[in-house]
Amino acid sequence: MSAILKSEIESNGSSVQVLKEDGSLLNKKAEPDFSKEDLKKLYYLMVLTRMTDERFLRMQRQGRIGFYLTSTGEEAAHIGSAFAMEEKDWLFLQYREPGAALLRGFSLFRFACQILGNVGDLTKGRQMPCHYAYKEGHILSISSPIGTQIPQAVGFAWAAKIRNDNLASLVYFGDGATSSGDFHVGMNFAGVFKVPVVFFCKNNQLAISLPFEKQTAVSSVALKAQAYGIDGIRVDGNDLLAVIQVTKQAVQKARSGGGPTLIEALTYRIGAHSTSDDPRIYGDESKLEEWKKKDCILRFQKYLESKGIWSLGFEKEVQERAGVEVSKAIEEAEKLSAPSLDTLFEDVYSDLPQQLREQKNELLS
C-alpha cells in the first residue's frame, strides 16, 4: 500500500513492522516521536488490560460471573489502533478490545459492573458480559452476531461525511467476520462512496475453532481490499508502534477524503475463544508456544528498556498499581445489587403502552 507505506515504515516482507521481535528498531527512521508519558501510558494500559482479563477469567472459574472473553496476546493490536484515532472519532468494537474502552475513559468499575450485570451497569444488565457501551467515550454498543458492527460503522461514517463533521470511525472484527455478508456490504459501500472509515481486522488465526486457512482461500485478509477498490495493508499486530503508525496514516487518509483502508493486524489468540470453549480440542500446541514468545507486551517492554524507561522498579510499580486498580473495581462492583425489575420496561417507549403497563404491574406484584 504505497500511499501509506512510503518510506516511513519498513516491511519485513509479509507485514509492516517498526519493532523486531526482540524489541529493537527495524529502522530508526521509522521510530515515532512519542513522549515518555505516552509510552508509559500505553505500557500500563497493556498490562492493566491483561491483568483485568486474568482476574475476570478466574472469577468465571470461581462461579462469580457467568461468562468472559479474554484478549490475551492481542493488546497491542486494539490499544495501538485506538490510540491512533482522535477522541472525536467513534469506535465500533467487537468483544475483544477492552483496552480500547479503557483508553477512552471507560472505568474498570463500570467494566466490572457490566460483567456482573448489576445496577451499576450502563446497559442495565441487558447485554452479555463483555458487550459494553460507553457513549461519552464514543464507543457504540457491542453486538454478539459476527460482523454486524461493520455496516454500522460505515453508516456512521457516511452520515459524518454528509454532515461535514470531519469524523472517522474505526471498526474491529476478526478473521472469521470476513466471511460474513456484513463484511461484504460494509466494504463495498465504503469503497464506492469513499466513506471515512478504517476497517481493522484482528487476524488471530482462529474463528472460534476454525483455523484461518480453512476460513478463506486467500492468503491474507488485506488482499480482500482489492475487490472493493480500497487500500489494504497487513501489519504485525504484536508491534504496538507499527499498529499506531499504520492506523494513524489510514485515518488521516480517510478523514481527508481518500477513502477507507482495510488493515489486517496479524496476531494470535493465546487463550480460549471464551470461557465456554476448550482450545485444547482443536488448538496447535506448537503454534501456541511459538506465538507466546512473540508476546506484544514483552516486545514493547524491551523497547522501553532500550529507551531507559523500563526497569524492574518501574515494572513493580506498574504491576502494583494495576493490581490495586483491578481489585478495587471488582470489590466495589460486587457490592451492588441487580437492576430493579422495572428497568425491563425502560428506554423503549416515551409513554408506556397499556399492555406493557399491565405486564409491569403484574411482574412487580
Q: pLDDT 10s per residue in the chain (365 long)?
A: 434 443 334 444 479 999 999 999 998 888 999 999 999 999 999 999 999 999 999 999 999 999 999 999 999 999 999 999 999 999 999 999 999 999 999 999 999 999 999 999 999 999 999 999 999 999 999 999 999 999 999 999 999 999 999 999 999 999 999 999 999 999 999 999 999 999 999 999 999 999 999 989 999 999 999 999 999 999 999 999 999 999 999 999 999 999 999 999 999 999 999 999 998 899 888 889 999 999 999 999 999 999 999 999 999 999 999 999 999 999 999 999 999 999 999 998 999 999 999 999 999 99
Tell me, yes or no, whether 85 and 146 share the same domain: yes
Tell me, yes or no, whether 157 and 306 share the same domain: yes
Tell me, yes or no, whether 213 and 348 share the same domain: no
Tell me, yes or no, whether 300 and 264 share the same domain: yes
Residue type, 50: R
Selecting among 61, 282, 321, 357, the annotated active-site residue is 282
Tell me, yes or no, whether 314 and 356 share the same domain: no
Tell me, yes or no, whether 24 and 46 share the same domain: yes
Tell me, yes or no, whether 352 and 226 share the same domain: no
Q: Is 273 a catalytic residue?
A: yes
Selecting among 50, 55, 78, 269, the annotated active-site residue is 269
| Confidence (pTM) | 0.94
Tell me, yes or no, whether 268 and 182 share the same domain: yes
Q: Strand 197-203 vs strand 169-174: parallel, antiparallel, or unpaired? A: parallel
Q: How many domains does the chain have?
A: 2
Tell me, yes or no, whether 40 and 157 share the same domain: yes
Selecting among 273, 280, 299, 303, the annotated active-site residue is 273
Tell me, yes or no, whether 122 and 216 share the same domain: yes
What b/e readout covers 227-244, taking b as 16+ CB neighbours within 10 angstroms?
Answer: ebebbbbbbbbbbbbbbb
Listed as own residue / partner, the contacts of 98-102 with beta carbons closer than 8 Å and 24 or more positions apart are: 98/49, 98/52, 98/53, 98/71, 98/130, 99/45, 99/46, 99/48, 99/49, 99/71, 99/75, 100/139, 100/172, 101/132, 101/134, 101/137, 101/139, 102/45, 102/48, 102/49, 102/52
Tell me, yes or no, whether 277 and 353 share the same domain: no
Could you tell me the residue range of the domain that residue 362 belongs to?
A: 341-365
Q: Is 138 a catalytic residue?
A: no
Q: Is 131 a catalytic residue?
A: no
